[in-house]
Chain A
């Protein structure tokens, strides 16, 4: 074993890891120090009637976050652009005014939530009772709007009333005060990073001792695999990439065209249904399609890797995981090509590109590990039972529908959301969308979800594959 080369590799990977962590920290500082909180609003049941100039709406709302930085209103605009202002006053129970701002009514969405951000976040006490007063001012002629309300029949007690133009009505307005709580995850962040570095340093130290005494250990076998088989992996991947479009006229251009075409079709079909609920629908849709295509392609190719290479496996000795893993890496190449049309779409729709887009690297690395893990499981199953591929056809179709690719997450009933979010694909795709469309880092919980799904599937995949790989040749 070449110690100089190993040392160089270890130092480089440490440097890359630290730089990467620092960049993630810099981009995600805000999300690592804030946990965003969405206030309560009921299911919309009806509108409260036309609001014209001078109408005052008053409601008591309990603060659910420590800082409130926006108000979200579900309004109806009667499908026209209204002109005028909406002034907002928030005061506390001692009647002292905390905030006074005024918003442009022409920005209101019809039948969906409109977000008005405050100039400065408002610090309140969590659980505090706030009085919100909205007043329509300077409305132009023929301009009026309405607000949705819910909980109309509930006997929620004293809270479920609001005042419209001096009249007390039953129900709760579809009005949310959203904001964030301060959390101090960023303190733990460096603790986690440093302990990871420390643990790996200790491990490498003990592994090198073992290498010197020629004991088998993970580090040296990983090193040997990388140095001895990297050329083979490179050859196999370039074979897959070269032969995939070998006899087609457009060749690699298909990798770029394919997601664009399927986006075109789905956009045409679904845009009227979901467009208004999803900001930047084309990018939303294309992100989902590109990410999900990678998943389907890698698994469909990877699961047959063992059986389709049967002649070789019977003749030549090499680690068997190389076959499924190279198939996944070939699909990764395809996936990276498909990011080009995604980038084009981001530019075409005028989505601003923020530094958060860099976090996609994190997302893709763990997405790749997740896919490799699942591929190893399926390739093993496929070798013993060829039904796996037909079963997988059904499962991947189902998986596609439980992942928000073309529809918004908001159509899922709230009761099911905790289960719905267990889907790893949901985590990876939502992570990517947050980085691309919202231009901010996801919350720490999303990072953990991505890492956890990848590790669970990868470890399960490696164990299952390793346990069965010696039996493969008997079933080929």
Chain B
């Protein structure tokens, strides 16, 4: 290992991802058997990622842009280990923490306090760690007085604040942000932006997916532009964003 490689937190090397999906989505055994018998079962090959390579260095903020279906979410899934690529390799140095979409790791019947522990456990944090960071999480999310109330009584803004606090207060090594910054009121948006900046200053590597080019311009160091599963452009934020605006919109 040479010194240059140590700095790379994420190395994506020639990753290709093909889905072999049935022509119609088959959800029942009957359909499957009928189609198998009538030989109408055909699979469409869908290339979601085609020879994608890029590196992310420690503390870098990498933006991912592209149209819907360009493969942004797929590459995030490959990086977090949820999907295994058909070809290529992803090397990760550190723990990957995804910032969950509104409530997906929450249980609406449980209180805010119980959800902090549940969600923290899902994100891979230990019990001691959550105990020590508990107060910080509650304070940052500004829901002290509702912490023992079931989540179903929260507003969506409160839930988003809680999710953001849990994911970021612990300084993950790699943070994945998929379009969740536009939550909460203006105040909290400002606060969360500051927190992100802080994290990046503290050495957290961030993968950032957004349709809002303004946010990308403001926060990212480098940008990968994906188009139909291929890397169309990879480079400095300003260059790629300008090209995207000219060509894309």
Contact = CB atoms under 8 A, between A and B. Distances in A.
Contact of B84 (A234, A242, A314, A470): A470
A236 B109 CA distance: 13
Contacts, number: 74
A473 B83 contact: yes
Given A385-B29, A474-B21, A231 B126 contact: yes
Contact of B82 (A235, A317, A386, A388): A317
Nearest to B119: A235
Given A231-B126, A317-B82, A387-B28, A473 B77 contact: yes
B82 A315 contact: yes
B122 interface: yes
Interface string B66-103: 00000000000100111110000000000010101100
Interface residues of A, number: 27
B139 interface: no
A236 B28 CA distance: 29
Given A315-B82, A315-B100, A317-B96, A231 B122 contact: no
Interface string A187-203: 00000000000000000
A441 B100 CA distance: 52
A307 to B, nearest CB: 10
A390 B30 CA distance: 12
A313 B81 CA distance: 11
Contacts of A243: 107, 109-110
A236 B118 contact: yes
B104 A311 contact: yes
B139 to A, nearest CB: 22
A315 B124 CA distance: 13
Contact of A235 (B21, B28, B32, B121): B121
A417 interface: no
Contact of A314 (B27, B82, B118, B150): B82
B105 interface: yes
B117 A235 contact: yes
Interface string A460-475: 0000000000100110
B19 A474 contact: yes
Contacts of A16: none
Which range contains the number of B residues in contact with the other chain?
20 to 34
Contacts of B24: none
Contacts of B105: 311-312, 315-316
Nearest to B84: A470
A242 B110 CA distance: 8
A347 interface: no
B220 interface: no
B142 interface: no
A239 interface: yes
B144 interface: no
A232 interface: yes
Interface in A338-394: 385-388, 391
B81 A231 contact: no
B126 A312 contact: no
B28 A246 contact: no
Given A385-B27, A387-B29, A317 B118 contact: no
Interface in A68-110: none
B219 interface: no
Interface string A211-235: 0000000000000000010011011
Interface in A395-436: none
B129 to A, nearest CB: 10
A388 B28 CA distance: 8
Contact of B122 (A316, A388, A470): A316
A423 B9 CA distance: 53
Across chains A and B, which 4 residue pairs bring their CB atoms closest together, nearest first?
Answer: A317-B81, A311-B104, A235-B121, A232-B121
21 contacts: A232-B124, A235-B117, A235-B122, A239-B114, A242-B109, A242-B110, A242-B114, A312-B104, A315-B80, A315-B82, A315-B105, A316-B82, A316-B123, A317-B81, A317-B82, A385-B32, A386-B28, A387-B28, A387-B30, A388-B29, A473-B83
Given A315-B82, A385-B27, A473-B77, 10 more contacts: A232-B124, A234-B121, A235-B121, A239-B107, A239-B114, A312-B104, A316-B80, A385-B29, A386-B27, A387-B29
